[in-house]
């Protein structure tokens, strides 16, 4: 019987680690209302804490990529998960809004950053030669899996007990994953006398510089990237990607539904239902990115996402379960499907060794967009007592992103063949 390559074990542990880190970010929507009720904090202030978290874990991405090269996979994953455990533990003791900003915005955002930024491409690039796109698709889809399984659970816990019990549940999962990471994660295949999956011979990579300063590595990557138009187009489209996903839907969808009289558990279940289709769509997107033009994949992803965001306010206003179901399916299939093609284009343009750090900067743009939508959505609600304009604007921006990726196609078609 043929043995399973250890790369797949690394993939599984990474998959579940991202689930735990991802639920801390995607759960923000179910905590807004209970925090607002208990502490009487302004909704825009609570949204600010979640916006800081989204921005911080995004901007730290390129530095995490550089630290991975210097420190190694195992130590980085242990350090990041330990930071999440610390942040979740401190949440029990907060009673001021500035403490929420520091704990959730700072500590938890930093702890989640490794898992939700560059870990997926790093594991795919270092542990896989064949099936890289599929590996990225599976790991990216893990955030949807956590949302699928855990969001309704968190909503039920909050509804029947309190938000503190829900935090305790996430804390318990984080501690379990910390132990699993310490036992099973290895830095690279060569540590086990193996080659990456799909590679026949072991060889040392001359480009890896273990003693280089990670800060200089991150900024050198940025200096190289800003000279290439493709970087700006990918960063611009990914800014809109973050704005229209984790920033808006992830933070405000549940509250938007509640404002139309939909109960918390039902709203969270709708969001988790999106996770079912997100899991399918993102995994399929990874498979497609190995076989088709990634720029055209992105074009259709952004266009269809924009159309679904324009549909949502109408569906809620009409109280139409059919239209809400259509939105859930189309948006869910598309939610994080943009990640595998974006990583693939970055790898084709900048090469395997540099792409992780440069993708980190592209993802930083994604999270800047997420932060704008998280805080901006709260402000729009504060002034208009409705999220409708936020969703209309996000839909229009998605149409703009589809134009960005068409330009990428024209400018990188020759370059992709030479990398």
Structural domain boundaries in the chain: 4-187, 215-405
Mean pLDDT computed over 10-14: 94
pLDDT at 334: 83
What is the rounded distance in angstroms from the CA atom of residue 141 to the CA atom of residue 137?
Answer: 6
319 Cβ contact partners less than 8 Å away, ≥ 6 residues apart = 260
SS3 content of the chain, % helix, strand, coil (to 5): 80, 0, 15
Fold agreement (4-187, 215-405): yes
107 or 375, higher pLDDT: 107
For residue 63, pLDDT over 70 is answered with yes
- DSSP of 139-193: HHHHHHHHHHHHHHHHHHHHHHS-HHHHHHHHHHHHHHHHHHHHHH--S-GGGGT
Q: What is the pLDDT of residue 167?
A: 93
What pLDDT score does 210 carry?
47
Residues in contact with 167: Cβ distance below 8 Å, sequence separation at least 6, in sequence order: 88, 91, 92
pLDDT single digits (tens) 78-92: 999 999 999 999 999
Confidence of residue 22 (pLDDT cuts 50, 70, 90): confident
Query: Of 108-122, 195-209, 315-329, 379-393, which gets the smallest average pLDDT?
Result: 195-209
Question: Which residues are CB-contacts of 58 (< 8 A; sequence separation ≥ 6)?
Answer: 113, 117, 242, 363, 364, 365, 366, 367, 368, 370, 371
CATH superfamily of 215-405: MFS general substrate transporter like domains (1.20.1250.20)
Q: Mean pLDDT across the chain, nearest whole number?
A: 84
Which residues are CB-contacts of 55 (< 8 A; sequence separation ≥ 6)?
A: 109, 367, 368, 370, 371
pLDDT at 150: 82
143, 22 Cβ separation under 8 angstroms: yes
pLDDT digits (tens, 9 = 90+) for 124-169: 888 888 887 788 878 877 876 776 678 788 888 998 899 999 999 9
Mean pLDDT to the nearest integer, 233-242: 93
CATH 3.20.20.60 describes domain 4-187: no
Helices (H), 319-351: 321-334, 339-350
CA distance 374 to 25: 11
Indicate whether this model's pTM tops 0.75: no
Instruction: Classify 199 in phi/psi space as left (phi over 0), alpha (psi -120 to 50) or beta.
Output: beta
Please tell me the least confidently modeled range out of 33-37, 208-212, 215-219, 350-354: 208-212
pLDDT digits (tens, 9 = 90+) for 163-205: 999 999 999 999 999 999 999 999 888 888 888 887 766 555 5
- Give the pLDDT score at 33: 83
Please state which of the ranges 57-61, 371-375, 401-405 shows the lowest mean pLDDT: 57-61
Taking the CA atoms of residue 256, residue 259, residue 265 and residue 270 in that order, the dihedral angle to the nearest 10 degrees is -40
pLDDT tens per residue, range 248-306: 887 888 888 888 888 888 888 888 788 778 878 888 888 888 788 888 899 999 999 99
d(CA 365, CA 220): 17
Q: What is the DSSP string of 202-235?
A: ----TT--TTS-HHHHHHHHHHHHTTSHHHHHHH
């Amino acid at each position: 019987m043929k043995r399973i390559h250890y790369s797949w074990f690394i993939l599984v542990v990474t998959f579940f680690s991202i689930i735990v880190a991802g639920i801390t970010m995607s759960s923000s929507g179910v905590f807004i209302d209970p925090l607002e009720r208990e502490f009487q904090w302004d909704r825009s202030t609570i949204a600010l804490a979640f916006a800081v978290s989204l921005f911080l874990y995004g901007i730290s991405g390129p530095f995490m990529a550089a630290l991975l090269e210097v420190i190694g996979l195992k130590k980085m994953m242990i350090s990041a998960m330990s930071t999440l455990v610390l942040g979740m533990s401190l949440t029990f003791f907060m009673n001021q809004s500035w403490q929420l900003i520091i704990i959730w915005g700072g500590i938890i955002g930093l702890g989640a950053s490794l898992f939700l930024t560059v870990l997926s491409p790093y594991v795919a690039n270092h542990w896989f030669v064949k099936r890289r796109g599929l590996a990225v698709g599976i790991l990216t889809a893990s955030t949807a899996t956590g949302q699928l399984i855990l969001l309704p659970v968190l909503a039920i816990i909050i509804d029947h007990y309190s938000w503190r019990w829900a935090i305790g549940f996430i804390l318990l999962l984080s501690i379990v994953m910390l132990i699993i990471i310490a036992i099973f994660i290895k830095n690279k295949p060569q540590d086990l006398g193996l080659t990456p999956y799909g590679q026949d011979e072991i060889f040392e990579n001359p480009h890896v510089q273990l003693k280089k300063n990670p800060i200089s590595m991150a900024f050198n990557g940025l200096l190289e990237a800003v000279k290439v138009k493709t970087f700006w187009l990918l960063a611009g489209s990914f800014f809109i990607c973050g704005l229209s996903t984790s920033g808006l839907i992830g933070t405000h969808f549940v509250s938007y539904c509640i404002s139309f009289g939909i109960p918390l558990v039902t709203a969270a279940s709708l969001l988790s239902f999106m996770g079912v289709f997100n899991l399918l769509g993102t995994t399929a997107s990874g498979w497609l990115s190995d076989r088709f033009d990634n720029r055209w994949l992105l074009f259709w992803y952004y266009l269809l996402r924009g159309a679904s965001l324009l549909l949502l306010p109408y569906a809620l206003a009409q109280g139409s379960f059919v239209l809400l179901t259509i939105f859930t399916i189309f948006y869910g299939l598309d939610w994080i499907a943009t990640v595998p093609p974006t990583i693939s284009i970055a790898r084709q343009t900048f090469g395997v060794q540099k792409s992780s750090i440069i993708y980190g900067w592209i993802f930083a743009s994604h999270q800047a967009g997420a932060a704008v939508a998280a805080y901006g959505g709260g402000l729009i609600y504060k002034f208009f007592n409705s999220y409708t304009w936020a969703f209309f604007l996000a839909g229009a921006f998605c149409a703009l992103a589809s134009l960005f990726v068409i330009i990428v196609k024209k400018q990188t078609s020759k370059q992709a063949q030479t990398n």
